[in-house]
């Protein structure tokens, strides 16, 4: 459904579907896990990787290992599928004494 609506202006409906889909990432049945992961990949194509990344960032460093594993699996699939488009959505990090984290080309473009 998400792949068929790419570019049709149905992002609001797909965002709502993603909100309904996201709690199912913790299912244990292999069939449901595969269906949810494929649906998230479809949402990545429809909504863009930044929307899915914002959902994913919240669980990458969760204290529970089982939660982290699911979120890292989603993040790795997202990274493989759309690595260049995710750079703009990464959070900004302040410069420190030793390192400079600025993205000057991206700042000039935006």
Tens of pLDDT, residues 38-86: 999 988 988 889 999 999 999 999 999 999 999 999 999 999 999 888 8
Q: Is the whole model's pTM more than 0.95, yes or no? A: no
What is the domain extent for residue 37?
Answer: 3-109
Residues in the chain: 110
Provide the pLDDT for residue 3: 65
Determine the average pLDDT of the residues in 15-37.
93
Tally of domains in the chain? 1
What is the spatial distance between Cα 107 and Cα 88, in angstroms, rounded to a whole number?
9
Closest CA to 89 of 46, 40, 52: 52
């Amino acid at each position: 459904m998400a792949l068929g609506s790419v570019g049709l202006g149905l992002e609001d409906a797909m965002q709502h579907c993603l909100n309904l889909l996201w709690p199912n990432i913790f299912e244990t049945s292999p069939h449901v896990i595969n269906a949810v992961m494929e649906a998230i990949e479809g949402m990545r194509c429809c909504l863009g990787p930044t929307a899915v990344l914002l959902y994913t960032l919240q669980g990458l460093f969760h204290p529970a290992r089982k939660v982290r594993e699911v979120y890292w699996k989603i993040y790795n699939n997202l990274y493989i599928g759309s690595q260049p488009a995710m750079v703009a959505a990464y959070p900004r990090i302040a410069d420190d004494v030793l390192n400079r984290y600025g993205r000057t080309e991206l700042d000039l473009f935006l």
